[in-house]
Structure 1
């Protein structure tokens, strides 16, 4: 009985950690988006010529360093999209710790599908 209670406590701790990942990810992305909005409001422009969007990772990083409003907004959106992906990774880790091979396989397939969808959505395939 004592081992079962510890297992429940460990599962509860894993769920808390996953919840923290989601909260922190959303908070950080919101802060980055707000910074981008404030930069846009103060400067009155995106930091890029009309019709130009930073859509590659290195372009976004360069725009962040150069304090371009649109790059900050794009980075915030990227972080927001990345948050549930991190949750899937955390779930794989937790299922591995539990020894639940079936859910490790299923969740790994979900992660692979997410990665493929992001690659296709970005125009990489």
Structure 2
């Protein structure tokens, strides 16, 4: 089933959604970071040894469950990093709705590059 060309109102709604995603992503990430900072100030320690780096998500989750300030702050950074990635995903949908295949392909390629860089960062960090 072929979808009809979206109206100006629909496209404005998508643009507003993208704006809200970016705004709320930053607000949520900043809030998580502030909570981590407050935990650090209250405990006086990040909860890990000096020069320690989390190696996988299970370690991060374990740190969150135990209330380690470093894990909370890293989660805030992770949320901040994911915010523009989510914007790229919504943009792909927007270009799909506009039947703009060139920009849909380009934006999909950007998403693949982002995901590949995350994967490579995880692989080479370990």
Taking structure 2 as the reference length, the TM-score comes to 0.89
Question: For 1:74-124, what per-residue CA distance to the aligned partner results, in whole angstroms no more than 9, with x for missing partners?
Answer: 110011001000000000011111111111111000000111111222234
Q: How does 1:56-75 map to 2 (within 5 A)?
A: 56-75=56-75
* Contact 1:54–1:70 (Cα < 8 Å) also in 2: no
Query: What residue in structure 2 maps to residue 54 of structure 1?
Result: 54
In structure 2, list runs of 5 or more residues that go unmatched: none
In structure 1, list runs of 5 or more residues that go unmatched: none
Quick one: higher RCO (CA 8 Å, sep 6+), 1 or 2?
A: 2
After TM superposition, the runs of 4+ consecutive aligned structure 1 residues lying more than 6 A away are none
The alignment partner of 1:122 has SS state of: helix
Quick one: distance in 1 between partners of 2:112 and 2:21? 20
Quick one: distance in 2 between partners of 1:78 and 1:31? 13
